Structure formats: C-alpha cells, structure tokens
Amino acid sequence: MEQFIHILTAPDNIPIVAMLFIICFVLQVAFKQAKENDLLLDEGKFDEMVEHMKT
C-alpha cells in the first residue's frame, strides 16, 4: 500500500489522479440529471423536462 501511495503522489501523476476525481464528480451529476429527466418523461411532462434542461 505504501508503494501505491508513493506512485499516486508522484508529481507527474497528481494531475491524472485529480482528473479521475473530476470525472467521477461529473458522471455523478450527469446520472442525477438523467434520472430526473427520465422521471419527468415517465410522468408525461416532456415540456417541463425541456424547460428544466434549458436552465
């Protein structure tokens, strides 16, 4: 485990590790929005979904 942490904290690997956290955050937001849109579509509220996507 100590070697793994040493590799992750090497100066040339820090941007890659940060990118992984950013990608995970963006995917979480995208899936949340997709779920909200799917629920609106299931309720037949297409126009409300479109307005929600514009904001």
Q: What is the mean pLDDT of the chain?
A: 91
pLDDT reported for residue 47? 86
pLDDT band for 50, please (50, 70, 90 cuts): confident
Q: What is the mean pLDDT of the segment spanning 2-24?
A: 94
Higher pLDDT, 44 or 31: 31
d(CA 52, CA 14): 36
d(CA 53, CA 36): 10
> How far apart, in Å, are the Cα atoms of 45 and each of 29, 34, 51?
21, 14, 10
pLDDT band for 16, please (50, 70, 90 cuts): very high
pLDDT reported for residue 26? 98
